């Protein structure tokens, strides 16, 4: 049984001119890891992603830039096939340029926030979910927002405004105590009922998050 990395190695062997195969293989590899391809080349994750971007240049496919951006450590840059050296923010901005194609739909799944997914899973696994849901653009916007300076706003080529709050609060679920503190009128009984409801909602959310992660892993294993 082939694991997900071996599956993508096989995809490269079957179609060595498919940039998505190189980009997918580079995305699932760990930082600094290398893999030997069918033609004897030994490439790192970054080299695979750069190669995938090069292959897809004529197709104006932005996925490889998104994958390369989320695998770059902070403050590091990558040199593309054309000699340009870009950081993760610049790669994401290029991927979101008006002439780039990220996916076929770009329609966001209602109620699913990729900023939350990134915080929960990390960027690489959240991107895997975005691929499965065909929401790479929504993911790329969330990833770009994380790279803006506090209070900074930029406008993308399609008119989308990306803004980072001057002081973004930590992500957290609302609690009954917090709600009661804001209103100042909640009774002890209603607070206990709200706490119970919040607990049930949190449990349901945790189950949903786990199922989405399992589904994402399954997508990679069957790709």
Q: Is the pLDDT of residue 68 over 90?
A: yes
Q: Residue 19: its pLDDT value, please?
A: 87
pLDDT, greater one: 174 or 72: 72
∠ CA(73), CA(78), CA(84), 5° rounding? 150
Low-confidence winner among 48-57, 69-78, 164-173 (lowest mean pLDDT): 164-173
Residues for the chain: how many in total? 223
Query: pTM here?
Result: 0.64
Which one, of 64, 193, 205, 201, lies nearest residue 127 by Cα?
64
- pLDDT tens, 142-183? 899 989 999 999 998 888 889 988 875 544 433 333 334 444
- What gap in Å lies between CA 109 and CA 114, rounded to an integer? 10
φ, ψ (nearest 5 deg) of residue 85 = -110, 120
pLDDT, greater one: 31 or 177: 31
Six token digits for residue 138:
């929504």
Q: Residue 207: its pLDDT value, please?
A: 54
Mean pLDDT of 34-63: 89
Decide: 85 and 78 in contact? Cβ < 8 Å. Answer: yes
Cα 95–chain centre separation: 13
φ, ψ (nearest 5 deg) of residue 71 = -95, -5
- What gap in Å lies between CA 147 and CA 150, rounded to an integer? 9
In 56-83, which positions are buried (b, 16+ CB within 10 angstroms) versus exposed (e)? beeeebbbbbbbbbbbbeeeeebebeee
């Amino acid at each position: 049984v082939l694991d997900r990395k071996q599956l993508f190695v096989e995809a490269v062997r079957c179609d060595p001119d498919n940039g998505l195969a190189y980009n997918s293989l580079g995305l699932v590899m760990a930082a600094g890891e290398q893999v030997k391809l069918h033609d004897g080349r030994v490439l790192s994750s970054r080299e695979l992603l750069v190669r995938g971007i090069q292959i897809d240049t004529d197709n104006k496919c932005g996925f490889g830039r998104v994958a390369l951006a989320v695998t770059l450590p902070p403050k590091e840059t990558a040199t593309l096939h054309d000699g340009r050296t870009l950081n993760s923010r610049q790669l994401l901005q290029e991927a979101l340029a008006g002439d780039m194609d990220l996916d076929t739909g770009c329609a966001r799944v209602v109620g699913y926030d990729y900023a939350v997914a990134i915080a929960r899973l990390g960027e690489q696994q959240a991107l895997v979910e975005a691929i499965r849901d065909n929401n790479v653009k929504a993911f790329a916007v969330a990833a770009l927002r994380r790279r803006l300076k506090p209070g900074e706003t930029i406008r993308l080529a399609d008119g989308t405004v990306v803004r980072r709050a001057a002081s973004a609060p930590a992500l957290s679920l609302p609690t009954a105590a917090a709600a009661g503190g804001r209103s100042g009128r909640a009774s002890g009984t209603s607070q206990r009922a709200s706490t119970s409801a919040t607990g049930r909602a949190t449990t349901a959310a945790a189950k949903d998050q786990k199922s989405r992660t399992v589904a994402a892993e399954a997508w990679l294993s069957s790709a």
